[in-house]
Amino acid sequence: MVQTEAFDLGAEVDAMRQGRTDIGAIASFVGLARDMNEGSGVQAMTLEHYPGMTEKALAALVDEANTRWALLDVTVIHRVGRLLPGDPIVLVAVASSHRGEAFAACEFIMDALKTRAPFWKKEETPKGERWVDARSSDDTAAARWDK
């Protein structure tokens, strides 16, 4: 679930569907490192995390998604370490019988991950290094799922 190496979206989704014929929908998401954030160029970023709590927090998100929707499989992979613009950071893939549930669960997991999983980004810019501040838009996105 947490790794420094790159992941392969196609391989992860193929692994989900291999040998089964009950999946009707796989919604997936890949988050990538951008070369621009808050108006300045980003040359690289380093992702730090809280080993132990990260795995626990991600497993809790997946459990909650499984409680809220009828899902057949869920994969979450988050990279840590130093990444360059264009590098994939996070992958979420959700399999379900129906597309509405797959989409909702995939977006829920991403929104919740942004506010509940202990990862921190530090960007390298022409002006030096800076820790990325949490975004209020992420809190807003996550709060949509509160009942």
Q: Which residues bind another protein (CB under 8 A)?
A: 31, 47-50, 52-53, 56-57, 78, 89-90, 110, 113-122, 131-135
For the CB of residue 1, give the shortest distance to another protein in the complex, in Å.
Answer: 12
> Which C-beta is closer to a second copy: that of 14 or that of 53?
14
Rounded Cα distance, 21 and 100, in Å: 18
b/e map of 34-55 (b: 16 or more CB within 10 Å)?
A: eeebeeeebebbebebeeeebe
Q: Does 22 bind a second copy (CB under 8 A)?
A: yes
Instruction: Outline where the chain has alpha helix (H).
Output: 9-17, 53-68, 99-116, 136-143
Tell me the residue type at 133. Answer: D
Place of tokens 């799922």: 145
Q: 69 is in the binding site of which of a second copy, another protein, none (Cβ under 5 to 8 A by kind)?
A: none
Q: 100 is in the binding site of which of another protein, a second copy, none (Cβ under 5 to 8 A by kind)?
A: a second copy
Q: Does 38 bind a second copy (CB under 8 A)?
A: no
Tokens coding 74? 């869920």
Rounded Cα distance, 134 and 116, in Å: 11
> Which C-beta is closer to another protein: that of 72 or that of 117?
117
Q: Does 17 bind a second copy (CB under 8 A)?
A: yes
> By the criterion CB under 8 A, which residues form the site for a second copy?
8-11, 13-14, 17, 20-36, 85-86, 88, 97, 99-100, 102-103, 106-107, 110, 137, 141
